Structures are given as structure tokens and as C-alpha cells.
Homo-oligomer: A and B are copies of this chain.
Amino acid sequence: MEALTPDSGRGVTIYQVARRAGVSIATVSRALRGSGPVAERTRQRVEQAVAELRFVPSRLGRSLAERRHAANGIVFPDLSGPYYAEVVLGYEEVAAEAGRSVLILSTRGRRDVAAMVRELAGRVDGMVIFGRTVDDAAVSDILATGVPVVLIARPPVGTADTVNTENTATATALTDHLLAHGLRRLVFLGDPTLSTDAAERWQAFADALRRHGLPPGEPSRCEFSEEAGREAARRLLPTVDRPEALVCADDEIALGALTAAEEAGIRVPDHLAITGWDDIMSARHVRPTLTTVRQPMRELGARAGRALDQLITGARTEPHRQVLPTELVIRGSCGTH
């Protein structure tokens, strides 16, 4: 802790360091970055000056000269549920390892998303975009700028990479499992038009039923939220031919359905089976515990991060499409044993 005389209180520049060390700024730069030969004695003088002045190179100056931000972006709809938070975490970890900062952008309830994404694109070397945030045109826009993009939970757009989780096999296994328990009147809760994931789950669910000679009927459409799930279930339960099982597009919907069942005095799983998707924390705590499907959330983010890195560094140029495996988690709410 020595007394210092920062030129302007804010921002010591490479020029000040150079003057203090009695060398040119080029030498300072070389000494600091090891990008060229520097005499040992000179290096020491520079390092001392750097220490004394507490010099920290300006990111802006560096980025401008190097023509790179050393930063990545990520666009997601929300951060409330555990789903996105986990993915972001996995992403941030990989990015940090690669020496890149992470800029986030939530699109929750925003109008000018396209503009915000464009703005973000101007601050990063590449970005990850979640399904259900911006439309294809906006994505193409970014790609046209030359900024690499990795899409998560979304079908391909242009040359962007994609990282998705497996839905079909698991949804089939889940449906088969319920059918094997003798359940016949199965209803899907969720809106296939809201996301690719929901669409694929519904599709596999419907196909599985058809294979067993059962009509899949129509999905009971609702958005991904507890309240929506509760409403949807509430409409279904008083029916004469009440469903024997509710296959929900995600855990939040399932939790809402569970509440609706409880409110209607219907015992789960005895008189009604309910399943979810994602294996969020509450799935383990709710009673009965929720049968669901686990997705490698953090890994999803990590993969996206690595894919993006390859795109940015140019290590790869053709688009990659990854599909991560998921796992059926049988618990109490589907009436097993």
C-alpha cells in the first residue's frame, strides 16, 4: 500500500507506466503480454512501474486493438425456474475457463427483444440463444453480422449450432410405463406450440398411445407454469370419464396439477397418476414425490459454451447438432412400486 498519484483518479494508462519505467509503450506491452523479446532488467522495471501505479490494461483499448471482446452472451426467457439458472451456470463456467466474460439478457416480458439482442451482439464474440426468446429472423440477423450463435432447445436456424435434449425416447418410455400399469385414459398437459421440447414430448406421447390402439385425444394446452397447470387440471378432473393419468410437459405444470387434484379430493397416485419433466428441486419434496424426466441442465449450458468456443476460435466451421440424453425418474406420483 504505497502512496500513489493516479493521474486522474481513474484509469492508469500504458503511457504512464512507460514513462515511469523509462521505456516506450511498445516495450510495456511486450513485457506484459510476453509478445516479444524484452531484456530481463527492462521487464523488471516495467513490472515495478505496473505494480506501483496499479496499472490494469483497459479492456476497451485491448478489445479494440485485438478486435475481440473476450465475452459471450446468453439470451434466455427467464431465470425464475431452476431450469435456466442451471444452464446459465454451466455456460458461465465454461466461458470463464476460456477467459470470457458472460453477458446475460432476459427477454421476459419485453417488447423490443430483437433490438436488445442486436445490441448484445455488438458486445460479444458469440452468443447462446434459448428457444422461445427471439424469432428466426432475428437469429439470422445476428448470424449475418458474423457473430456465431448456438441455439438451445430449438430447431436449427441457418448455420447456428444447436444443443438439445432427447425427448422422444424418454417420453415414449414414460408413456409406456404408465400404460404398463394398466392406465388407459392418459391426457397430456402442455402446449406443443410453445416449444420444440413440448412438441416432441407430445408427439412421442401420442404415438405411444396409438401404438397401443388408444386415441391420444388433444393436449390440454397450458403454458409452463404452476398456475396454468392447476387451471388445466381443474378443467379436466370433474369429467365423467376422468383421466387416469396426466402427463405434464414440465414439473411446474405437474405441481399445479397435483394441487388441483388435492383440491378436488382426488388421491394421487391411487386415483390419478401425474408426471412431470425436468426434475426440479420441488419434484423431490412434493408429496407424492413426482415422477419426472431429468435433463442434464448444467451440461446443456456447458456444451453450448464449448460449441460456441469452437465457432468463435474457428476450430470448426460446419454447424454441429447435439442431442443430450435424458433420464426417466420414477417416483411416487405415477403409482409404481
A interface list, Cβ under 8 A from B: 9-11, 54, 56-61, 63-64, 69, 71, 78-80, 82, 84-86, 88-89, 92-93, 96, 101-106, 108, 110, 116, 118-120, 122-123, 144-146, 255, 280-282, 285-287
Q: In the assembly, what is the distance between CA of A70 and CA of B89, in Å?
A: 23
B106 touches A103 (CB 8 A): no
Report chain B residues within 8 Å CB of A118: 56
Q: In the assembly, what is the distance between CA of A110 and CA of B255, in Å?
A: 35
Report chain B residues within 8 Å CB of A89: 78-80, 106, 108
Q: Which among A11, A85, A120 has the highest number of chain B CB atoms within 10 Å?
A: A85
Q: Copies per complex?
A: 2
A99 to B, closest residue via Cβ: B119
A92 touches B119 (CB 8 A): no
B105 touches A101 (CB 8 A): yes
B123 touches A59 (CB 8 A): yes
- Return the 10 tightest CB-CB contacts between A and B, nearest first: A10-B146, A285-B286, A287-B287, A85-B85, A59-B122, A282-B285, A79-B85, A282-B282, A79-B89, A60-B64
Report chain B residues within 8 Å CB of A122: 56-59
Report chain B residues within 8 Å CB of A282: 281-282, 285-286
A87 to B, closest residue via Cβ: B79
A104 touches B102 (CB 8 A): yes
Q: Which among A71, A102, A282 has the highest number of chain B CB atoms within 10 Å?
A: A282
The residue that A286 contacts in the complex, of B85, B92, B123, B286, with Cβ under 8 A, is B286
Q: In the assembly, what is the distance between CA of A177 and CA of B297, in Å?
A: 40
30 contacts between A and B (CB under 8 A): A56-B122, A56-B145, A58-B122, A59-B122, A59-B123, A71-B103, A78-B89, A79-B85, A79-B86, A79-B88, A79-B89, A80-B82, A80-B89, A82-B85, A84-B85, A85-B85, A89-B106, A96-B110, A96-B116, A101-B103, A101-B120, A101-B123, A102-B103, A103-B104, A255-B285, A281-B281, A282-B282, A282-B285, A285-B287, A286-B287
Q: In the assembly, what is the distance between CA of A60 and CA of B63, in Å?
A: 7
